[in-house]
Amino acid sequence: MAERVASLPMYDIPEVAAATDAWWAGIARHLAAAGVANVPSGLSRPGEGAEFWLRPDMLFSQTCGYPLVTELAGEVRLLAIPCYDAPGCDGADYTSLIIVGSDASWQEFGELRGRICAVNSVGSWSGHHALRVLIAREGAQDGPFCKAVVSGSHAASIAAVAAGHVDFAAVDCVTHATLARYRPAAIAGTRVLCRTPAMPGLPLIAGKAAREGELAAMREGLAAAFGDPELAEARKALGIAGLEFLGENEHERLLAALERAETAGVGPLL
């Protein structure tokens, strides 16, 4: 069997690339020790999107919870969910932060009705669908809650808010914490107004070709990597605080929340 591919794309900004590489090197070493064959020595960059996650030679990656239960359902296997040390995280759950300008007068989410928001991607839970769930909590309304524009990334959404091009955005709390730590200028001119409801965080996944025995070995290797003191510095640099092994249906909470939003009349914003 040829060497397979792996990626850790979700929070891999340039400032933490070295830590991400060190973290993968440790994971790869523990996966191999647990009996996983043909573990890639390095990460694929870029390594996200269905085209990558559905590759037959994809061994390991991290994805968003929404595609896990939609376009990737039955095509990849859930391994575990990392826990992050970031405001808005609670164990394996995370939230999105509603970001507004520092000088904005709004104090409650309902005051944003009729405003313009930036959405990083139509298929993003944290930047789009979590916002729909929060809007649904505001109750029935006449017409759309807000106008939405696509920014292309969470960092771009924050920049659009800071520049006054849009009024608010929903941003993954781990991304926000990472930028605040390594690129504080990126969040300057903005503040957190509130949070969206908590949902399971971004899952670590294996490719569809992985069989039960290999999945068990991968989980064993992951547990060893998360407990390895030699990797503590890399974990700290990436804000990783732990790991939880949850059932494959855990992320269906996202679909249930979206169903409630649809029932409340809150469809896609774009």
Pick from 197, 215, 240: which residue ends a domain? Answer: 197
Q: In terms of pTM, does the model score above 0.85?
A: yes
Going by pLDDT thresholds of 50, 70 and 90, the confidence category of residue 25 is very high
Query: How many Å apart are CA 150 and CA 142, to the nearest integer?
Result: 23
Q: Is a pLDDT exceeding 70 seen at residue 121?
A: yes
Helix/strand/coil for 172: strand
The sign of the CA dihedral 128, 134, 136, 138 is: negative
Going by pLDDT thresholds of 50, 70 and 90, the confidence category of residue 58 is very high
Domain that holds residue 108: 96-197
CATH number of the structural domain spanning residue 32: 3.40.190
* pLDDT tens-place string over residues 230-246: 999 999 999 999 999 99
> How is residue 231 annotated by DSSP?
G
What DSSP letter does each residue of 153-184 carry, written as one string?
A: SHHHHHHHHHHTSSSEEEEEHHHHHHHHHH-G
Q: Which two tokens stand for residue 112?
A: 């944003």
Pick from 133, 167, 197: which residue ends a domain? Answer: 197
Question: What average pLDDT does range 18-46 have in this prediction?
Answer: 97
Q: Indicate if 189 and 208 belong to the same structural domain.
A: no
Q: Indicate if 127 and 184 belong to the same structural domain.
A: yes
Helix/strand/coil for 124: coil
Q: Indicate if 192 and 204 belong to the same structural domain.
A: no
Query: How many Å apart are CA 262 and CA 258, to the nearest integer?
Result: 6
Does residue 21 belong to any structural domain of this protein? yes
Q: Domain count for the chain, please give it.
A: 2
Does residue 49 belong to any structural domain of this protein? yes
Q: Which two tokens stand for residue 257?
A: 């929340």
